[in-house]
Amino acid sequence: MERRKFIKQAALSSFATLIGTEIVFGSKLLDGYEPLAMQNPDPFTLFSKDKGMVVLNDKPWNIEATAHLLDDKVTPNSSMFIRNNGKVPEELDASTWTLTIDGESVSTKKTYTLADLKSKFQQHTYQLAIECGGNGRKEFDPPAKGNQWGVGAIHCASWTGVRLRDVLKDAGIKDDAVYIGFHAVDVHLSGDPEKEPISRGCPMSKALQDETILAFKMNGKNIPKIHGYPLRLVAGGWPASVSGKWINRISIRNKVHDGTKMNGKAYRVPCKPIAPGDKVKDEDMCIIESMPVKSLITYPKSGAMLKKGKTLKIRGHAWAGELEVAKMEYSIDFGSTWNACTLEKPVNRLAWQHFTSEIELPKTGYYEVWARATDSNGVAQPMILPGWNPKGYLNNACHRIALKVT
């Protein structure tokens, strides 16, 4: 009885926090009843998001931006996509938060408080591009299962924290270490505390990069709760699923991490090209690592109207996973010819790059502007959907906007 009373009080406290006021007569609520305010919460207010964001799912929360909302060079919280696999944790106390380093390949199991991390290790700030592996999934045909992301599951905020490498080395990495796996406090959708919603990781080579950090600040402020407060892993250039939120434990493994969403077809693509709709055995699927080259026109908004004789100014961002974008182009004749854009260098490795161009449109009528980036290995974005895969990952087809000249 006392346990049920405690759980009910905790739930009421969480409801009150989310809606911003006391629940009058909350003690009278029937067990298991969910207040109406929680059945249809306003995610834009709840998470401080722009009302132009698109809600794909609320159990769990998955929300994306539209292209024009990503116009800022450094993505603000209001335009950052949300990707969750479980329920957002309710009670998060930075003053008592700890991170444990364990696993088969750690010399000594060690636990650090947030204060330890901030005082013992040098802090670094990087702007890092984080993109959902399924960004662009809704374009796949036949359809792929999962959230039907458009183009807005990408952001490039500024993150401050300590290098994961420094913390792992302090704990002691054994010679047989090959992978890390993260563990967090988000809650499985079933409510079962024994189940993890997601527990992924990356090879040691990625874990030990300068830019792979344990972050406690985003854009100079405490990370918003929905984005991983008080501590998250940030591994730019790889699928966002590697950048675990609310983490409290990292395991150093002597094998590929086998946590939730590391097996089967999750965040994997066929090792060899297949025909659309074909079935693939799990053993023939390869883990996604560096994301492919991609770009996004953020201005003007698709559907813009331009007066005849006016120059069209476009701008946007381009990124290429672990690589740099070497060339950026646009086309106004459906990819028949391409013209160079002005492309900036990244502010640091793994940040997106900004491009601009001025376009003269010859006459009145309907136009499409297509954008194409080429990475430092000479690989360019495909003009149409790339190879089909069962989970709809890695769609890096050219972004395009429509406009009319009147």
Q: Yes or no: say if 104 and 365 are a contact pair by the CB < 8 Å rule.
A: no
- Single pTM value for the model: 0.90
Residue that has been written with the tokens 């990781």 in this structure: 201
Q: Which residues pair with 320 in a beta bridge?
A: 323
Same topology for domains 94-287 and 294-405, yes or no?
no
Architecture of the domain defined by 94-287? Alpha-Beta Complex (3.90)
Q: Distance (Å, rounded) from C-alpha 202 to C-alpha 106?
A: 16
CA dist 203 and 44 (Å) reads 36
At 245, list the tokens: 């939120």
Q: How many helices (H) and strands (E) does the chain have?
A: 6, 24
Nearest alpha carbon to residue 97 among 252, 243, 247: 247
First to last CA, the chain: 71
**Distance (Å) of CA 127 to CA 47, 148, 242, 388:** 21, 27, 16, 31
Domain spans of the chain, in order of start: 2-73, 94-287, 294-405
Sheet containing 201-203: order of strands = 110-113, 98-102, 247-253, 179-184, 201-203
Whether 99 and 168 have beta carbons less than 8 Å apart is answered as no
Q: Which residues lie closer than 8 Å to 132 by C-beta, 6 or more apart?
A: 81, 83, 149, 153, 154, 239, 240, 241
Cβ neighbours for 252, distance < 8 A, ≥ 6 positions apart: 101, 102, 103, 104, 105, 106, 168, 171, 173, 174, 177, 179, 180
Give me the amino acid identity at 353: Q
Q: DSSP 3-state assignment of 287?
A: strand
Burial category of 387 from C-beta neighbours within 10 Å (exposed 0-12, middle 13-18, buried 19 and up): middle
Residue 40 confidence (pLDDT): 59
Report pLDDT for 27: 78
DSSP summary character for residue 226: G
Q: Which of 127, 151, 66, 71 is nearest to 316 (CA)?
A: 71
CA distance 144 to 146: 7
Angle at 182 between CA 181 and CA 186, to 5 degrees: 145
5, two tokens: 């009373």
* Nearest C-alpha neighbor of 237 from the set 290, 283, 301, 189: 290
User: Looking at residue 15, what is its pLDDT?
Assistant: 63
1 DSSP assignment: -
Q: To which residue do tokens 């984005």 refer?
A: 227
* Confidence at residue 123, expressed as pLDDT on a 0 to 100 scale: 98
The tokens describing 127, both together, are 């702007």
Q: Which residue from 100, 102, 104 is spatially nearest to 254, judged by alpha carbons? A: 104
Q: What is the reported pLDDT for 1? A: 45
Amino acid (1-letter code) at residue 401:
I
> Using an 8 Å Cβ cutoff, are 279 and 312 in contact?
no
Tokens matching residue 72: 């800022």
Tell me the CATH number of domain 294-405, given options 2.30.30.100, 3.30.365.10, 2.60.40.650, 2.40.37.10. 2.60.40.650
- Sequence-separated (6 or more) residues with CB below 8 Å from residue 181: 103, 199, 200, 201, 250, 251, 253, 257, 258, 259, 262
Nearest CA-CA partner of 235 in 76, 350, 393: 350
Per-residue model confidence as pLDDT tens for the chain (406 residues): 454 444 456 566 666 655 567 777 877 777 767 676 666 578 899 999 999 999 999 999 999 999 999 999 999 999 999 999 999 998 899 999 999 999 999 999 999 999 999 999 999 999 999 999 999 999 999 999 899 999 999 999 999 999 999 999 999 999 999 999 999 999 999 999 999 999 999 999 999 999 999 999 999 999 999 999 999 999 999 999 999 999 999 999 999 999 999 999 999 999 999 999 999 999 999 999 999 999 999 999 999 999 999 999 999 999 999 999 999 999 999 999 999 999 999 999 999 999 999 999 999 999 999 999 999 999 999 998 888 999 999 999 999 999 999 9
Matching residue, tokens 């699927």: 285
